[in-house]
Amino acid sequence: MRKLVKSEEWELSLKNFKLNKKRTISTIIGIILSVALVCAVATMATSFQETLIQNAISETGYYHLKVGNVTDKEKEEMQKIKNVQNIIELYDVGYAKMQGIQNEDKPYVHLYSMRNETFENLKFKLIEGRFPENEEEIIISKHIKTNGKVNLKIGDTITIEVGQRMTLDNEKLNQNNPYIEREENINNKKTYNFKIVGIIERPEYSFEDYGDPGYTIISTNINIGEQNIYIALKNSHKYKETIPEILGAKDYNEVKELETENFKFKDFTLNKELLRWEDFAVSDSTVGMLYSVIGVVLFIIIFTSVFCIRNSFAISTTEKIHMYGMLASIGATKRQIKKIVILEAMILGIIGIPLGILSGLFADFVLLKIVNLLLGDFLFANLDGIVFKTSILPILISVFLGFLTIYLSAISSARKASKVSPIEQLRGNNDIKIKAKKLKTPKIIEKVFKTGGVLAYKNLKRSKKKYRTTVISITVSIFIFITMNAFITNAFDLTGNYYKDYDYNMVLYNGVENLSQEQLNKIFELNNIKEKYLLYDAEQYSLTVTDLSKINTIDERNYSEDEEDFGYMMQIVALDDNSFKKYAKEIGAKYDEIKEKGILCDEITEWDEETGNAKKSRRYNYDENDTITGLYGEKEIKVQVGAVTADKPYGLEGTYSSGGYLIFNKDYYKDLTFNLSQININSNNAEKLQEEIENLKLNISINNMEENVKEEKAMVLVIKIFLYGFIAVITLIGVTNIFNTITSNMELRQKEFAMLKSIGMTKKEFNRMINLETLFYGTKSLIYGIILGLIGTYAIYNAFAVKIDAGVYIPIKPIILSIIFVFILIFIIMRYSIFKINKQNIIETIRKENV
């Protein structure tokens, strides 16, 4: 008997799939989506980590610890330590003064000697030429030319006297000590002749410190001076044990706190960047945050998946209740029946999980390609973009979580199937076990929606459990969608989404005040200028207001009652007439009335240090037509207020003045003298315009914001792709589930529908009943989802600790989108179900039961 049941079990499980192909397929799709999502998230994490690691390596080279002044013997000892993978070394030969260097703080060249292997490993960037073959050849860094202004090229020869940098008291100086002319010397000089064979980019600051008074030059085979070694570990996770061992410290704490008295080697540097990313420890604040975000995401995925997949299994179990009853009646034990159900689930898993993993990896791969296409240029200087990397870990996690999800989903169905008693089943459909009381319908339903509505309402009440998963699926998706929107809005405000509201994309500053009218005209004649806004500073820059009665908000931290002259400074600026006209229109003021007056812009933001909340208010009490009295330079002047606004004028959007601004019309306000400080240009081809302006050689600074805008837009797009992609997949999982629930429900009620039709319900009324059902539970899920979404939105705003007193932000757009989406979705599914039901013959259905 046992053996028979075993092969029978397989056969039965397999036959069951064929029974309802559609159900099986949609369950498998649900599994694939869930696993793919888990795998994609985990792989994304490993990809990020790998990218950060590679980026660190590209900047610093591959080492974890640099130790200075090491003898060959000591180096050998270190090589023996178990966790040490590789040691490369170089010689810090010394410094030499070089003729012609025009940087007062950096008069030296700093000579190093190393093998080609070290040169490659430390990631110096060779622009021209090659690595030296012997001790008479040298590589110089590019910034000797650009920064030191010494014109050297490949093929030139130099002669330098290299020695130790020391103080007058013969103390050694290294690159961390800045150059102090009269207090240092080069001792023990030795003369070298070099031919220049190569040029490298300025080394990263991890090699040549910003304050190093010598430009890096590199030769080979000169084993003089201090030997510095770079140690790469085999297993970077064990760095807290290995590094103290190498340095001769008691434990890592001493290393961290730099308590180096008892160390064997006191001159060392950790490659913190690389260690941080290779270790990827939860204790690191950034990594910790990443882990928690991933944790939350995975939780949402598993929660949704278990829900949906469990529902799918429950439905297929219900459909096969006859079979389970029959099995029980011919003698299968409860255990055996449970086994069959779980077996079915596992088969689905074996098909679905690998497909899910492949899909997840593929999706990540494609996604990263797209991201790199959009953002590659901006992200990392030395890499092409985010590196795609997967390892065993994400795959194992996906497999594990996948099977866990399926198992959890299947056990309840298994239990239910095993409990079916043969008699109960053979007797008939005991679908309804509800009490009459629970089906009570409020009178209004009947009044408004008539019989169709009553039937719809009652049906929902009896199928509460069945529709619960549908309701929850929809609710979760809506909640996530609305909350995500809040997250996106906040995150971008925070990262300074400055550029979205600007009317211009280029700023000319630094030096414009010295331009003659002729030069200005040359600029304005150029093509590609759509609009320009000129900003002027007042000669004395600001107006100081000390009249406390006119000050609305006082910053308690700065104020003390004893201070007699306490006040605030209004920054005085002016716009050219055209810009002023535009500005006036935008703030709703009448240009003609205010062109000879000042516009007061004084919105300030106060920060509550304890709660981190920001509050916006006005600095002053001045209103339209008031007169401001204040100190301008040495004099006291009076200014009439033409308008008050919170919007800053062109050119000042990114600035903040705690005393506010006074804005005048340069052409009409004659009481003050103004100097040009900024030209803001709206260009239709910023790149070309920048080139043309640079060709005019006017000695001014140009800020091309197009690049910034492009980068920011790309960043925003990428983040949106990730977040909305995530929402889409979660929703899809929910949708497969909803599809399952609703179609199975329709099938189970075939008899009922046939009955209703036979006693005379028209098609129209029938459809109406179904549509009302949709309306009822669609509305229910929407309300739950929207309420939860609003709560989520509020929570996110709190988390970002910027509460805008101006009012609560209601995410109207996402709410409307949710509503539209939900109803479209459900109507489609319902239509499909009705279509299938209407196809069937009433007679056939009634026949089925009445033969």
Partner 1 sequence: MEILKVENLTKIYGRGLAEVKALDNVSFTVNKGEFVAIVGASGSGKSTLLHLIGGVDRPTSGKVFINGKDIYKYNDDELAVFRRREIGLIYQFYNLIPILNVEENIVLPLKLDGKDVEQDKLDELLKILGLENRRNHLPNELSGGQQQRTSIGRALITNPAIILADEPTGNLDSKSSDEIVDLLKKSNKQYNQTIIMITHNLEIAKTADRILRIEDGKICEN
CA dihedral 690, 692, 696, 698 (to 10 degrees): -10
Q: Which helix (H) or strand (E) holds 513?
A: none
Whole-angstrom Cα distance, residue 357 to residue 399? 8
**DSSP code of 215?**
E
Q: Which of 752, 34, 12 is CA-nearest to residue 316?
A: 12
CB of 766 to partner 1, least distance (A): 9
> Which residue type is seen at 724?
Y
Q: Which of 88, 121, 123, 83 is CA-nearest to residue 233?
A: 83
Nearer to partner 1, 311 or 459 (CB): 459
CB of 441 to partner 1, least distance (A): 9
The alpha-helical segments, DSSP class H, found in 419-538 are 422-427, 443-462, 464-494, 517-525
Nearer to partner 1, 81 or 439 (CB): 439
Nearer to partner 1, 433 or 697 (CB): 433
User: Is the torsion defined by CA of 453, 457, 463, 469 positive or negative?
Assistant: positive
Residue 439 sits in the site that holds partner 1 (CB under 8 A): yes
Are 131 and 220 a contacting pair, CB within 8 Å? yes
CB of 436 to partner 1, least distance (A): 5
* Block residue for tokens 């549908």: 470
Nearer to partner 1, 802 or 842 (CB): 842
Q: Which of 265, 261, 243, 264 is CA-nearest to residue 252?
A: 243
Nearer to partner 1, 242 or 463 (CB): 463
Pick one of 396, 434, 795, 808: the residue that binds partner 1 (CB under 8 A). 434
Residue 755 sits in the site that holds partner 1 (CB under 8 A): yes
Question: What string of DSSP letters covers 644-677?
Answer: EESS--TT-TT---TT-EEEEETTT--SS-EEEE
> Which residue type is seen at 99?
Q
Of 28-36, 304-312, 430-438, 694-702, the window that binds partner 1 (rule: CB under 8 A) is 430-438
CB of 463 to partner 1, least distance (A): 9
Residue 842 sits in the site that holds partner 1 (CB under 8 A): yes
Nearer to partner 1, 467 or 479 (CB): 467
Residue 433 sits in the site that holds partner 1 (CB under 8 A): yes
Nearer to partner 1, 322 or 530 (CB): 322
Of 602-610, 641-649, 754-762, 788-796, the window that binds partner 1 (rule: CB under 8 A) is 754-762
Nearer to partner 1, 202 or 751 (CB): 751
Q: What angle do CA 334, 338, 339 make, to 5 degrees?
A: 115
CB of 314 to partner 1, least distance (A): 20
Nearer to partner 1, 805 or 849 (CB): 849
CB of 450 to partner 1, least distance (A): 7
Tokens encoding 828: 């489609």
β-pairing, 137-141 vs 214-219, is: antiparallel
CB of 412 to partner 1, least distance (A): 24
Residue 436 sits in the site that holds partner 1 (CB under 8 A): yes
| Residue ranges in 227-256 that form contacts with partner 1 under rule CB under 8 A | none
Whole-angstrom Cα distance, residue 391 to residue 287? 18
Nearer to partner 1, 14 or 843 (CB): 843
| Residue ranges in 24-53 that form contacts with partner 1 under rule CB under 8 A | none
Residue 849 sits in the site that holds partner 1 (CB under 8 A): yes
Whole-angstrom Cα distance, residue 128 to residue 142? 10
Residue 430 sits in the site that holds partner 1 (CB under 8 A): yes
With 0-12 / 13-18 / 19 or more C-beta atoms within 10 angstroms meaning exposed / middle / buried, residue 11 is exposed
Of 19-27, 130-138, 476-484, 836-844, the window that binds partner 1 (rule: CB under 8 A) is 836-844
Whole-angstrom Cα distance, residue 512 to residue 520? 8
Nearer to partner 1, 440 or 638 (CB): 440
Nearer to partner 1, 445 or 732 (CB): 445
β-pairing, 137-141 vs 568-575, is: unpaired
CB of 763 to partner 1, least distance (A): 6
Whole-angstrom Cα distance, residue 27 to residue 349? 10
Strand partners, 112: 92, 218
What phi-psi label fits residue 807: left (phi over 0), alpha (psi between -120 and 50 degrees) or beta? left
> Which residue type is seen at 826?
I
Nearer to partner 1, 204 or 765 (CB): 765
Residue 2 sits in the site that holds partner 1 (CB under 8 A): no
Residues with Cβ within 8 Å of residue 200, at least 6 apart in sequence: 124, 125, 126, 127, 139, 140, 141, 142, 216, 218
Residues with Cβ within 8 Å of residue 449, at least 6 apart in sequence: 456, 457, 772
Residue 448 sits in the site that holds partner 1 (CB under 8 A): no
Of 65-73, 148-156, 189-197, 455-463, the window that binds partner 1 (rule: CB under 8 A) is 455-463
Using a CB cutoff of 8 Å and minimum separation of 24, what contacts does 266-271 make? 267/67, 267/68, 267/69, 268/65, 268/66, 268/67, 268/68, 269/65, 269/66, 269/206, 270/64, 270/65, 270/66, 270/243, 271/56, 271/60, 271/63, 271/64, 271/65, 271/66, 271/206
Pick one of 451, 527, 552, 605: the residue that binds partner 1 (CB under 8 A). 451
β-pairing, 661-665 vs 568-575, is: parallel
Nearer to partner 1, 455 or 584 (CB): 455
Are 603 and 586 a contacting pair, CB within 8 Å? no
Pick one of 381, 432, 806, 812: the residue that binds partner 1 (CB under 8 A). 432
Tokens encoding 138: 């040298």
Per-residue contact flags (x/-) with partner 1 for residues 756 to 775, judged by CB under 8 A: xxxxxxxxxx----------
CB of 826 to partner 1, least distance (A): 21
| Residue ranges in 158-187 that form contacts with partner 1 under rule CB under 8 A | none
Residues with Cβ within 8 Å of residue 206, at least 6 apart in sequence: 59, 60, 269, 271, 273
Of 47-55, 156-164, 432-440, 781-789, the window that binds partner 1 (rule: CB under 8 A) is 432-440
CB of 439 to partner 1, least distance (A): 6
Pick one of 415, 751, 780, 803: the residue that binds partner 1 (CB under 8 A). 751
| Residue ranges in 273-332 that form contacts with partner 1 under rule CB under 8 A | none
> Which residue type is seen at 127?
I
CB of 459 to partner 1, least distance (A): 6
Nearer to partner 1, 82 or 763 (CB): 763
Nearer to partner 1, 259 or 752 (CB): 752
CB of 839 to partner 1, least distance (A): 13
* Block residue for tokens 């939900």: 822
| Residue ranges in 458-517 that form contacts with partner 1 under rule CB under 8 A | 458-459, 461-462
Of 304-312, 351-359, 454-462, 493-501, the window that binds partner 1 (rule: CB under 8 A) is 454-462
Pick one of 189, 202, 450, 581: the residue that binds partner 1 (CB under 8 A). 450
* Block residue for tokens 């709190």: 798
Of 303-311, 577-585, 715-723, 748-756, the window that binds partner 1 (rule: CB under 8 A) is 748-756
CB of 452 to partner 1, least distance (A): 9
Question: Residues binding partner 1: what is the number (CB under 8 A)?
Answer: 37
Of 103-111, 223-231, 695-703, 749-757, the window that binds partner 1 (rule: CB under 8 A) is 749-757
Nearer to partner 1, 760 or 807 (CB): 760
Positions in the binding site for partner 1 (CB under 8 A):
428, 430-436, 439, 450-451, 454-455, 458-459, 461-462, 751-752, 755-765, 841-843, 846-847, 849-850
